[in-house]
Structure 1
């Protein structure tokens, strides 16, 4: 895709034969859009194709979760000095190096490829409303709008100034129609308005149609069809609401962020982790907490085993590991009861490897734990905010903190520490630092130029051929 003008003319789809295949998003074939969108099954397969695009290495399979974005957050302290490591320049924020330019261009292109496919689907769906049964039109259209917003938000968080850096500064294009006309480069504030608009539209569509929505109790879950019955890990109503909480906090609208976070928490559909409920090794990633996640059937062999191998120091030049010393600062003395310590295994006497994805096929993109952290940060009362934080701590094996001993400033420091513990290998920590406009990261000296760290350069091809300054 160049300058957002070269539009995909076929959609990646999945041929599905049973309900349990609905979450298996491996591509099987391609089909012309005019043929694909003549049936409800075609729309179903098209939305699954968008998820498939999102599982690639240049998207959430690696770079936007356990790889690039977590390297930017300095999660893995073996990388910044590892000779010939594929992420060496990433860890040192050398975005102009040739390979980094290629990596960054792929991130941009892959995101807009998924956005384009969402737009193709949306360009057909209203005219084909008659092919849908039940409430499936609302489900698929709401899901497509939610995915389009999710993808744009992460492009914004990577390639544009954050609101605190300047909401009126030039940001990225918001591509919301299927066309070959270049889209204008909007400001951060304008893009965030577009994101919020898509999400509120998705909420309205999903509210009464989604089995993972506020009317869940009204559904006979033994009789719902394949589409309506498989909402647990998809862009469901509460995933849209959780994303709204994340979006509103990013632009410092704490009142709205708190309301959205509370709605997800109060739904009671995403129970926080308890070790008594663990039944399998895959529970290591706390799957019941996932409000939205991606299923990647070959997650272990394709991604986890590539970067989190159980090998001696230096044996794998591209391994991602955390030193025992760093881990002890993230989970200091007194936190040895923290259930999250089970996410790590000895790589050697001095290093640890991440095992979150060794025993499961799911990468979380939105979790109930984040909703507790958003509520704690957005709640104006320190005592009420601490109550949210203490719920999360209890479900991580930690003792409660006494609100009387904390000011707003010291409580926010605790919240930041929890972000650092909670989102290892999930790609969210860098965005937290950027939202807070942090002058430095815990393992680094103060930045000489924060913007050169927090704002990735828009690919050169987009500037040459598109409507971008």
Structure 2
């Protein structure tokens, strides 16, 4: 059965280059062969696979929303003078390259939403093609969750600061495929639609998702020997899909953005407390051994949802390993400024390395996405871009829980990173900014730190590595394409 997983991944790679445009392009100029695609159960499966492939585009979560464009907003990487990445870090929205970069991201996110909507548009009417209720529910749930995931990032990136929702752009929350432009709606209306999608997605799978019953190890190894032997292995490998716990994690993230901390804590706690049937934890915080022994630099055991990146080895080799994406030439930048020179932090000790470039120049690169080209087994295949992690749930709980409970979560998290435990401030605002410092270390090269700064409307002094000449802003101009695109 292990071979099936690699066949599935190979299929993703082939599908990426041969089928995604055919099946999932939804623009005013082209239309997918919907009647044919959605006339079979297999067609729905293919369409959902294509949806994840779209998410892995370099213009979306394969790079721009995780490792490049959004990270450039907070000075995560060294940049070339006069380049677009430099101007992004300076928030120069008068620059054509900067505008194009964000408009490309904006268009891609709505394109993913359009593809999710195309599946949702047909799934109820064609429910009879499904051989079982569980598969129908799962595919519908994942589409709703992905739609919510992308809409949340649109409002987080291009919308207002949550504490001042009336000061900023208004965007459509798109739930249908149409060539008619959708009107922007209020922040509150957008919130309600997004949370409804997540609630609907949760209700669809809360009784049927295999991840509720089986461990991640079992789900990655479907077969008689693992104890999970489904008739259809499409229901396996839940860690690289928007599963039930990923939905709860996204709820926690969304509730924090919409300033509903009590509900955020409730969702985060459910994920943290999740157990397998044998009583072991469903997800566990990473350890030094994951880095140094397993070589799992992206900590897949923490992933509530990790986007499988078939080309991660090549992406790493052509960017990080070549010094194209780098930070600093001395230990002062990373060891001292980022981690505080603890001498114990497992990230400080294992996640960065000094390399020598062909011109003999030296620079530091992050090893988070360093993976084996051809892993020997599923168990050591770590080609996953983190989309939702357990550590974020601990951060949310540390901020949103009552102080005594929050302190326990904070202590557990810091112990997992092998750093000194500290007492959280009793003042909530001070607590938020104390956690923010750790957030920057934890989610480097994952695209989440900028949103943490924006949610708190953090002043520039708190934004580590922001250039001195940068004019920090959390309010972006309305993408010029908004007035002409349909979704």
- Is TM more than 0.5 here? yes
Picking from 329, 333, 337, the partner of 2:337 is: 329
Of 341, 348, 365 in structure 1, the residue corresponding to residue 349 of structure 2 is 341
Name the structure 2 match of 1:148.
147
Residues 348-363 of structure 1: pairs in structure 2 closer than 5 A: 351-359=363-371, 360-363=382-385
Report the counterpart of residue 308 of structure 2 in structure 1.
295
1:73 Cα deviation from its structure 2 partner: 1.9
Which stretch shifts more, 269-278 or 106-115?
269-278
Closer/same/farther in 2, CA of residues 152 and 322 from structure 1, 3 Å limit: farther
8 Å contact kept, 1:169–1:187: no
Match of residue 482, structure 2, among 447, 462, 466: 462
Residues 297 and 370 in structure 2, CA contact (< 8 A), matched pair in contact too = no
Aligned to 1:201: 200
Cα shift readout 1:211-244 (whole Å, capped 9, x = no counterpart): 123x559x96223522221212210011011000
Q: How far off is 1:65 after superposition?
A: 0.5
Structure 2 residue matching 1:329: 3-state secondary structure:
helix
Unaligned runs of 5+ in 1: 1-16, 312-317
After TM superposition, the structure 1 stretch with the greater mean CA deviation from structure 2, 337-346 or 55-64, is 337-346
Contact 2:179-2:486 at 8 Å conserved across structures? no
Q: In structure 2, the residue corresponding to 1:69 is in which secondary structure?
A: helix
Aligned to 1:374: 396
Coordinate RMSD, CA, aligned = 2.7
Aligned to 2:53: 52
Partner residue of 1:4? none
Query: 1:306·1:319 contact (CA, 8 Å) conserved in 2?
Result: no
Indicate conservation of the 8 Å contact 2:290/2:299, yes or no. Answer: no
Question: If the length of structure 1 is used for normalisation, what is the TM-score?
Answer: 0.86
State the Cα distance separating 1:83 from its structure 2 match.
1.9
> Which residue of structure 1 lines up, in the alignment, with residue 288 of structure 2?
275
Distance 2:486 2:35 in 1: 29
SS in 2 for 1:227: helix
Tell me whether 1:387 sits opposite 2:386 in the alignment: no
Alignment of 1:422 onto 2:452 = no
**Cα distance change of structure 1 residues 353 and 253 upon mapping to structure 2, 3 Å threshold:** same
Corresponding position: 1:121 with 2:128: no
Shift, 1:336, TM fit: 3.2
Q: Deviations over 1:72-123 (max 9, x none)?
A: 12222x22xx324341111111123111222112111111111111001000
Q: 410-419 or 259-268, which moves further after superposition? A: 410-419
Q: Residue 418 of structure 2 aligns with which residue?
A: 397
Deviations 1:42-80 (Å, cap 9, x if unpaired)? 11110110111111111111110010111112222x22x
User: Structure 1 254/52 Cα, relative in aligned 2: closer, same or farther at 3 Å?
Assistant: same
Cα distance in 1 for partners of 2:386, 2:350 equals 17
User: Could you tell me how far apart the structure 2 residues matched to 1:417 and 1:425 are?
Assistant: 15
> Which residue number in structure 2 is paired with residue 319 of structure 1?
325
Relative to structure 1, the CA distance from residue 63 to residue 277 in structure 2 (aligned partners, 3 Å threshold; closer, same or farther) is: closer
Paired residues of 1:138 and 1:205 also in contact (CA < 8 A): yes
Distance in 2, Cα, partners of 1:255 & 1:225:
38
Q: 1:407 to 1:93 in 2, by over 3 A?
A: same
Distance 1:187 1:326, change over 3 A: farther
- Unaligned runs of 5+ residues in structure 2 are 24-32, 220-226, 275-280, 372-381
Measured in 1, the distance between the counterparts of 2:146 and 2:40 equals: 21
Note if contact 2:171-2:184 (Cα within 8 Å) is conserved in structure 1. yes
Deviation at 1:362? 1.4
1:448 to 1:287, Cα distance in 2 relative to 1, 3 A: closer
Structure 1 contact 379–385 (Cα < 8 Å) conserved:
yes
CA contact (8 A) 2:169 2:478 kept: no
Does the 8 Å contact 2:90/2:471 carry over to 1? no
Alpha-carbon shift at residue 467 of structure 1 (Å): 9.3
Is 1:305 matched up with 2:317?
yes
Say which of 288, 294, 299 aligns to 1:286.
Answer: 299
How many residue pairs get aligned? The number is 436
The answer to whether the 8 A contact 2:158-2:169 is kept is no
Deviation at 1:387, TM superposition (A): 0.8
TM-score (norm 2): 0.83
How has the CA–CA distance of structure 1 residues 206 and 322 changed in structure 2, closer, same or farther, with 3 Å as cutoff? farther
Q: Is the 8 A contact 1:210 1:216 kept in 2?
A: no
Q: 1:65 to 1:341 in 2, by over 3 A?
A: farther
Whether the aligned pair in 2 keeps the contact of 1:321 and 1:351 (CA below 8 Å) is yes
